[in-house]
Chain A
Amino acid sequence: MQDLLYFSQQLINGLTIGSAYALIAIGYTMVYGIIGMINFAHGEIYMIGAYTALIAITGLTALGLAWLPLILIVALLCAMIVSSSMGWAVERVAYRPVRGRHRLIPLISAIGMSIFLQNYVHLAQGSRNIGFPALIEGGFNFSADGAFEMSLSYMQITIFVTTLVCMTALSLFISRSRTGRACRAVSQDLGMASLLGIDTNRIISATFIIGASLAAVAGLLLGMYYGSIDPLFGFIAGLKAFTAAVLGGIGSIPGAMLGGLILGVSESMTSGYLSGEYKDVVSFGLLILILLFKPTGLLGKPEVEKI
């Protein structure tokens, strides 16, 4: 019983982190699906989302707003607006001019952008980590003989529910809306879609905006969950989310969700049963192994190289 509770605790923790990873991974996978580049600066967009959310929360609290849901919703909106503007601007400045060139050129440009954004926040807000107030406290506790307690906090429930809502909204958007249909068309064949009258530049911008706003949601959620943020925290999270995207099959949206969950669970199992210090090693190791043995991921389509 004890073991089972411990296991379920790790499972819950893993699924919590994993669903947030999935939110970030969507941005990677959509961009890759459409223009075939790794948006290296995506982790920084997520970090900026977290900072904006924290600024908004602090500001609103200082203004005397006390109703928690309102604070959270306003903060979420602020974060989404700032992050998606950032995503749009990054694409315009750093990626659009180099689109269609040799594969490494957009990637180096993206790395430059990532370093730039990291230091932008570093200079503006300082390099020390800042505590993120735990606004949602408490939770359910389950115990066996009072020995080991398994807890499911309200925060974790919030993360699950928010992720679920975002994912459902995204799926509906992609499958039903006009823009969503255009997105799918562009990711299948950019040239053909543009011949058929789709404004591909607009669709690519839209992809960046969607990815960035989901990353901002993840930024608020994970910032609150971890309890502190710093300018570097986007880097590792971005890598993890990229791993999740690759794990699920890059370019596939359901794949990103699945990959995120698997990655989160395997990470928390590692810290639960082996050691917390090596959880990053496990996820990077996982990334290397997948790329070596199944580069298309779990749900990805095989890529055929044409001559």
Chain B
Amino acid sequence: MAANNYRHALFCAIVTLIISFPILGFNLEAKGVNIELTGAKTSTIVAVILAAVAVFVFQAYRDSFMGLLGKLPKLNPLAGREPMEQSKRVKLESWVLTGIVVLALFWPFVVSRGSVDLATLVLIYIMLALGLNVVVGLAGLLDLGYVAFYAVGAYTFALLSQYTGISFWMALPIGALLAGLTGMILGFPVLRLRGDYLAIVTLGFGEIIRILLNNWTTLTGGPNGIGGIPEPTLFGMEFGRRIKEEGNTSFHETFGIAYSGEHKVIFLYLIALVLAVITALIIRRFMRMPVGRAWEALREDEIAARSLGLSRTAVKLSAFTIGAFFAGFAGTVFASKQGFISPESFVFLESAIILAIVVLGGMGSQLGVILAAIAVTILPELAREFSEYRMLIFGAAMVLMMVWRPQGLLPMRRIHITLNKQG
């Protein structure tokens, strides 16, 4: 047994060397037409060798490590505790959510402009993640092309404002409805596919949308994108220094305060906050409605749910459409925030990030998803030097979550009743 262990450990260590040394140990550099190969820094090579040694040690003494790990959770004070009572937990969750919202309301007035801008982005991601949470977390439909609906929302606003001069408030429902409609049209044929096929089809659809946006230059401007997207107005009051449109007044003149660029940023943030809260509340309602139960029933056991009379297409389609609708919502806000959009913002990676948020937060759990969206967007900003490792860490985190805790950091718990034990 022991010799076997060492052989396996040695094998693993060699594999570690093989997969890391050629890629990390040599750098390809283009020198004019030729390519030159340079050795990497000594520190990298030492790190590779250390990694191999670590793998060897871990694999060789795997059993004792696992034994140690098994003892560890006892150190955690929360481990042995009884699960919190249901009514208490629900109350706590809503208190936490309310607390976050209240905190978020005061946030922009105390921090710098850059932080408010970042917070707006976080809110957009929260909207997207809440929408995708309906599709992936509740209905169990893996949608890898979610960013396509986000793009539909953003481009709807951009194109309409370019050709018809529509305002943000008009574009918001139109963009969301159009995205929802796209979701419905796409969903209708594809939703009878099995889970993993559905994932690939949505991925293909997302790519098709992106390629179309990139190449239909006459309409979308291709890779150059569309600029000059107007900012939202408050009852006809603009936030710019000068008024762009006839009939509008400007915010700082109406209230007789000095012009400041911050007003606009804060206003946009507040709009995003309100929309995110609305999104969360609507989806929360849906979760408690029969249709929400039907999503979960179908996710848990399709055959049983169908035999109880649920229409598979109708239920899945509703989840898909609602998810797409909120993506369109977020897309409109995004277009307005950036003032400029291009297909670059709607690549597959974006879908993957949103999916990572939903997976990390705990599929189905709203609070978890919101916290994960905040963490995923803010952490890379806090640790700037790590920002290039961001996607590397996301990828690894997704794998580790699936291996260790597929239910997510804050898993969703249904409201349920347990019978008291007899006697």
Contacts and interface: CB of A to CB of B under 8 A. Distances in A.
Interface of A: 37-38, 48, 51-52, 54-56, 58-59, 62, 78, 81-82, 85-86, 88-89, 93-94, 97-98, 101-109, 111-126, 128, 130-131, 133, 235, 239, 242-243, 246, 275, 277-278, 280-281, 284-285, 287-288, 291-292, 295, 307
B22 A123 contact: no
Given A113-B395, A284-B207, A288-B204, A124 B23 contact: yes
B215 A278 contact: yes
B364 to A, nearest CB: 13
Contacts of B105: none
A105 B195 CA distance: 11
Nearest to A307: B303
A58 B28 contact: yes
Contact of B392 (A82, A108, A116): A116
A82 B197 CA distance: 30
A121 B197 contact: no
A107 B140 CA distance: 13
Interface string B198-212: 011101110110011
A218 B212 CA distance: 28
Given A85-B15, A277-B211, A239 B406 contact: no
Contact of A115 (B142, B200, B391): B391
Interface in B141-183: 142, 144
Contact of A59 (B30, B37, B142, B359): B37
B403 A97 contact: yes
A221 B349 CA distance: 27
A284 B204 contact: yes
Nearest to A235: B348
A131 B33 contact: yes
A240 to B, nearest CB: 10
A45 to B, nearest CB: 10
Interface residues of B, number: 59
Contacts of B140: 104
A288 B205 contact: yes
Contact of B19 (A86, A107, A285): A86
Considering residues B15, B30, B204, B215, which has the most beta carbons from chain A within 10 angstroms of its beta carbon?
B204
A94 B403 contact: yes
Given A94-B399, A104-B142, A295 B23 contact: no
B234 interface: no
A88 B205 CA distance: 31
Nearest to A280: B211
A137 B26 CA distance: 27
A54 B211 CA distance: 29
15 contacts: A54-B35, A82-B22, A103-B194, A112-B398, A112-B402, A114-B395, A115-B395, A116-B392, A118-B395, A123-B389, A123-B392, A133-B35, A246-B200, A288-B201, A295-B193
Contacts, number: 178
Given A112-B402, A115-B352, 17 more contacts: A54-B28, A55-B37, A59-B37, A93-B399, A104-B196, A106-B402, A108-B398, A112-B398, A113-B399, A115-B392, A119-B392, A126-B28, A131-B33, A277-B214, A278-B215, A287-B201, A287-B204
B406 A98 contact: yes
B227 to A, nearest CB: 23
Nearest to B349: A115
Contact of B37 (A58, A81, A278, A292): A58
Interface string B380-422: 0000000011011011111101110010000000000000000
Interface in B340-363: 348-349, 352, 355-356, 359
B309 interface: no
B248 interface: no
A277 B18 CA distance: 38
Contact of B23 (A101, A120, A281, A291): A120
Q: Which of A86, A109, A275 has the most CB of B within 10 A?
A: A109
Nearest to B402: A109
A119 B389 CA distance: 8
B24 interface: yes
B19 A85 contact: yes
B291 interface: no
A123 B398 contact: no
B67 interface: no
Contacts of B195: 103-104, 107
Contacts of A126: 27-28
A93 B12 CA distance: 11
A108 B402 contact: yes
B36 interface: yes
B142 A107 contact: yes
Contact of B197 (A58, A123, A275, A295): A295
A58 B28 CA distance: 8
A131 B193 CA distance: 40
Contacts of B16: 89
Contacts of A111: 144, 352, 355, 398
A301 to B, nearest CB: 15
A246 B15 CA distance: 31
Interface string B48-59: 000000000000
A52 B21 CA distance: 10
Contact of A119 (B33, B200, B204, B395): B395
